[in-house]
Structure 1
Amino acid sequence: MGSPHPSRGPGCPSGPRSVPADAQTVPLAVVAVLSAVLCWPVGSVAGVLLGHLALHRIRRTGEPGRRFAVLGLVLGYAGLLGALAVGAFVALTTFGIPPQAG
C-alpha cells in the first residue's frame, strides 16, 4: 500500500534531523529578536523578515532556535502594529477630525 502519510515517501525525511546537544541557536533567530526590540520601528520589519527566514531554516535543518524565531516574529508584528497606531494617532492629531455637519 505504501506509507501512511502520502507526503512521506521513501525519499522524504520523516521529520527534523537529529541535532547534536551542543548545537547553537540559529543566528537569524537571535538577530530577529534583537532587531525587533532595539531598532523600532524599522527593526520591526527586519524582525519579521528574519524571523520567517529563521523558521524556514529551522524547519528544514532541525536546528534549535524556534522560540527565538517566533519571539522575533511576535515582537516584529507587534512593533509594526505599534508603528501603525502611532502613525494613525499623529495623523489624526495633526490633521484633525473634520467637524460633523448638523
Structure 2
Amino acid sequence: MRRSCAVLIITALATTAMAGCSSHRVDPAAYQSASCVDLDTSIGMNSREISATAVRRGKVDSWEPPFWLAGARRGAEAVKNRQTAKIDRLQQQGTAMTAERARRC
C-alpha cells in the first residue's frame, strides 16, 4: 500500500513539473521583447486562467454553508474577494499583452 502511494505521488509530481515546462508565460516586464507567438500563447493562457478563476468564484458564491459552521460565510466571502482581485489583475495583464500585440504584430 505504501509503495503504491509513493508511486502515485511521484507520478503526480513529475506530471506537474512536466506540465509547467510545456507552456510558459511571458513576464509582464518582458512584453516588449516577447515574440508575437509568445504573446499569443500568453494571452490564451491568461484567458483560460480568468475563466477558471471566474468559475471557481461562482461556485464559492453560490455555496450555502450550513448554519452551524461558524465563520463559513466570512471565509467564503474572503475567498470570493481574493478571486475577484486575481481576475482584476489577470485582466490588466491581458489588456497590456493585447495592447502590445496590437502595437507590434
Please state which band the TM-score falls in when normalised by the shorter chain. 0.3 to 0.5
Question: Which structure's relative contact order is higher, taking Cα pairs within 8 Å and 6+ residues apart?
Answer: 2
Structure showing the higher helix proportion among its residues: 2
TM-score normalised by length of structure 1: 0.44
TM-score normalised by length of structure 2: 0.43
